[in-house]
Amino acid sequence: MKKSALELRDVTKIFQKGHEVVRAVDMVNLSVAEGEMVTFLGPSGCGKTTTLRMVAGFELPSDGSITIRGKDMTNTPVNRRQIGFVFQNYALFPHMSVYNNVAYGLKARGEKDSDIRLKVLSALNLVGLVKTENRYPSQLSGGEQQRVALARVIVMEPQLLLMDEPLSNLDAKLRLHMRTEIRKLQKKLGITCLYVTHDQAEALTMADRIVVMNKGKVEQIGTPFEIYSNPQSLFVADFIGHANVIHLPVISIGDDEISVAIPDGGSFSARALKPHIYSADDTIYHEGKNAALIVRPESVAVVKRDDDKTHFSAEVVSSIFVGSHMEYELTLPNGDTVKASVPFQSGMKIFDEGDEVSLIFDVSNSVFLPA
């Protein structure tokens, strides 16, 4: 097995807020391979940044251990961890030129001036900033500042690159561009990277693996594909992309499949997931009780009302043309709302508000979770 670049074991952070004890990070376990890019995704206050800051050494864990390249670093001060940290606001030193910003760490390390010069210039070159070394941060655009922040870190050849929402201060277009650029650079240098974001598109497009966090706990760790198609919890399903969540009564339970009753009489079967928080012999689905059907809008087909018992009858509430797709909002007889996103093709049947239709859920892209 590949030696892991980073190992988090039961990492926990407790803050005391007045008399209240807040578990900001709760028993986080994670193993990151060399050269891997892992994003931490979750709503604000979910503990992702605190986790990153503990890996950096800005905060010390209340409990648990942090191992970097096999060495226990749990209580090592940040300046001896050899990590590179890119801050949300870049934290460029305003009183130093670009050159001195990038050279700062090398100077602190006591390297020779001639070596420093070579390294700084090549790092600036690498991030696409040439001839800016004599400027001051206040004279640079947001995107350029971002690049300086990157250069300042990679010039140190850190064991780990830690990034805390580095793109959130850029405008939308530049953000898209920097996304691919950072990913390319990370692959080129083969550097292990932890990347915190609350933007799911960023997480999905940049990561080898995603850690979804909520309320201090890890909800799910997996590749973007796994996270998207096999959400382990309702939170993950809802947080990544949009998911329709429909609560329906279970009528029969198979090995890894269950069937539920459709509001107007039929039945529907699909894979039933067993989230990792349950142990092997827990029964989590019960006949007669509700299960949550998770289906993404793009896995819903809208057709004329038919009699197929595995289809869901519905009424169109709104119908919007967005160019590449038709976006429908529909209601089921039990009052639940379902969204459908149907690729637009010329000549296709377009439904209007009030139309009675049937919905076909793509079985291979539908899953059940405990309600």
Contact set with another protein (CB under 8 A): 12, 14, 16, 56-58, 60, 62-63, 77-85, 87-89, 91-95, 104-105, 108-109, 136-138, 152-153, 156
Write out the DSSP string of 252-292: EE-SSEEEEE-TTS-EEEEEE---TTS-TT-----TTSEEE
Of the pair 104, 285, the CB lying nearest another protein is at: 104
Nearest partner of 222 among 244, 199, 243, 240, judged by Cα:
240
To the nearest whole angstrom, how small is the minimum distance from the Cβ of residue 194 to another protein?
A: 13
Q: How many residues does the chain have?
A: 371
Of the pair 153, 292, the CB lying nearest another protein is at: 153
Write out the DSSP string of 14-47: EEEETTEEEEEEEEEEEEEETT-EEEEE-STTSS
Nearest partner of 155 among 182, 117, 212, 196, judged by Cα:
117
**Cβ–Cβ contacts within 10 Å for residue 91, how many?**
15
Write out the DSSP string of 48-94: HHHHHHHHHTSS--SEEEEEETTEE-TT--GGGS-EEEE-TT----T
Angle at 321 between CA 316 and CA 322, to 5 degrees: 130
Of the pair 92, 237, the CB lying nearest another protein is at: 92
Of the pair 97, 205, the CB lying nearest another protein is at: 97
To the nearest whole angstrom, how small is the minimum distance from the Cβ of residue 190 to another protein?
A: 20
Give me the phi and psi of 359, to 5 degrees please: -110, 135
Instruction: Copy the structure tokens of residue 246.
Output: 């429909």
Of the pair 88, 229, the CB lying nearest another protein is at: 88
Of the pair 158, 222, the CB lying nearest another protein is at: 158
To the nearest whole angstrom, how small is the minimum distance from the Cβ of residue 3 to another protein?
A: 23
* Nearest-angstrom CA–CA distance, 323 and 203: 25
Of the pair 89, 364, the CB lying nearest another protein is at: 89
To the nearest whole angstrom, how small is the minimum distance from the Cβ of residue 55 to another protein?
A: 11
How far from 321 is each of 104, 189, 301, 303, 326, CA to CA, in Å? 53, 43, 15, 17, 5
* Nearest-angstrom CA–CA distance, 352 and 293: 26
Residue 364, amino acid:
S
To the nearest whole angstrom, how small is the minimum distance from the Cβ of residue 354 to another protein?
A: 43
Write out the DSSP string of 334-360: TS-EEEEEEE--TT-----TT-EEEEE
To the nearest whole angstrom, how small is the minimum distance from the Cβ of residue 108 to another protein?
A: 4
Of the pair 87, 301, the CB lying nearest another protein is at: 87
- Compute the chain's Rg from CA coordinates: 25
To the nearest whole angstrom, how small is the minimum distance from the Cβ of residue 119 to another protein?
A: 13
To the nearest whole angstrom, how small is the minimum distance from the Cβ of residue 84 to another protein?
A: 7
Of the pair 165, 302, the CB lying nearest another protein is at: 165
Of the pair 148, 367, the CB lying nearest another protein is at: 148
To the nearest whole angstrom, how small is the minimum distance from the Cβ of residue 96 to another protein?
A: 8
Angle formed by the axes of helices 113-126 and 98-109, to 10°? Answer: 130
To the nearest whole angstrom, how small is the minimum distance from the Cβ of residue 110 to another protein?
A: 10
* Contact (Cβ atoms closer than 8 angstroms) between residue 191 and residue 123: no
